[in-house]
Amino acid sequence: MKLGVFAVLFGDKPLEEALDYIAESGLEAVEIGAGGFPGDSHCNPRNLLEDESRLNRFKQAVESRGLEISALSCHGNPLHPNPQIARRDHETFEQTVRLAARLGVENVITFSGCPGESEHSLNPVWVTCPWPDEFSSVLKWQWEEKVIPYWKEQDRFLKQHGVRVAIEPHPGFVVYNTETMLRLREECGDNIGVNFDPSHLFWQQMDPVAAIKELGKAGALYHFHAKDTGIDRQNTAANGVLDTKSYRDELNRSWIFRTVGYGHGEETWKQIISALQMVGYQGAISIEHEDSLMSVEEGFQKAVSFLKNLLIKERVGDLWWA
């Protein structure tokens, strides 16, 4: 496994400056935003595909610093009921896949998407319970009419280009846990796998180790985000884990995103790294920072230090006995 970072953390820096800082921090891999929610400040697929010299400069900028691209990320909602939004995010995904193929990058990361409740919807509808019965009917319609047909077609497209999609399970989208991820893969094709982000599982009260084992046995573990979640036990006891308050309302939320080690301690992260090792994962551990209590610089450097220590132990086999 190689330690890397999701470079959107440094989207305010020019690409070369961001890559210098990442390499100087002792990392080996970089995940680069190519549109969608992450933005394309470092990588605009359309521009790179249209200009061979620009594409070569981009590739050289990464390789000359001893880095490799672990993934191109274009998180979006290609199933959005607004056709303009769906078309925009789908086209971004297609362009990102084509760019990944040209660069020899194996993984493109995005969300599964979420449709509305019918052909007349204006916004996505995420179903979280089976009753009243219309909720179950909506879920059935979403999967059979929108999700499966779309991702079957994308699996064929991915195979044509020799690229895999790493879907990030995320509440608010139809794929949000292990079961929905494995259903998408089973229904639509094996070029569809997972970008595993424990932070989205922690607050759902899932065990990342159990999920890693299930996904690993299915051959579906393609990429990994290193991000943590802090659970406020008092607020959760009073209100549960479904929380629509602003992420900036840290004092009153049931949970917030944290830098690795600040939501769950070293023992938990030892078990996660060991589980990745047991299922044979050899990809990147890509640091993602969304900790509202720390600056990007502080959160990044603390994550680097914390994870380097664990990966050193993993390489000498110490984590097997954690």
- Reported as a single tens digit per residue, the pLDDT across 2-51 is 999 999 999 999 999 999 999 999 999 999 999 999 999 999 999 999 99
Q: For the stretch 162-174, what's the b/e string if a residue is b when 16 or more beta carbons lie within 10 angstroms of its beta carbon?
A: ebbbbbbbbbebb
- Backbone φ and ψ for 171, nearest 5 degrees, come out as -55, 140
**Dist CA 27 CA 124 (whole Å):** 37
**Dist CA 241 CA 232 (whole Å):** 9
Range of the domain at 78: 2-321
Number of separate helices (H) and strands (E) present in the chain: 12, 10
**Dist CA 154 CA 16 (whole Å):** 32
pLDDT at 312 (0 to 100): 77
Report the length, in residues, of the chain. Answer: 322
Residues of the chain with pLDDT under 50: 321-322
How does pLDDT run across 288-316, given as a tens digit for each residue? 999 999 999 999 999 999 999 999 766 65
**Dist CA 292 CA 276 (whole Å):** 27
Pair 166, 223: CB distance under 8 Å: yes
Pair 167, 110: CB distance under 8 Å: yes
Look up tokens 């990102």; give the residue. Answer: 96
pLDDT at 317 (0 to 100): 65
Annotate 168-188 with DSSP letters as a single string: ---TTSS--SHHHHHHHHHHH
Here the CATH number for the domain that contains residue 183 is 3.20.20.150
Comparing C-alpha atoms, which of 250, 270, 245 is closest to residue 260?
270
pLDDT at 314 (0 to 100): 67
**Dist CA 150 CA 107 (whole Å):** 19
Comparing C-alpha atoms, which of 160, 171, 128, 151 is closest to residue 79?
151
Per the structure, the count of domains in the chain is: 1
For 23-148, strand residue ranges (E) read 29-33, 68-73, 107-110
**Dist CA 294 CA 60 (whole Å):** 32
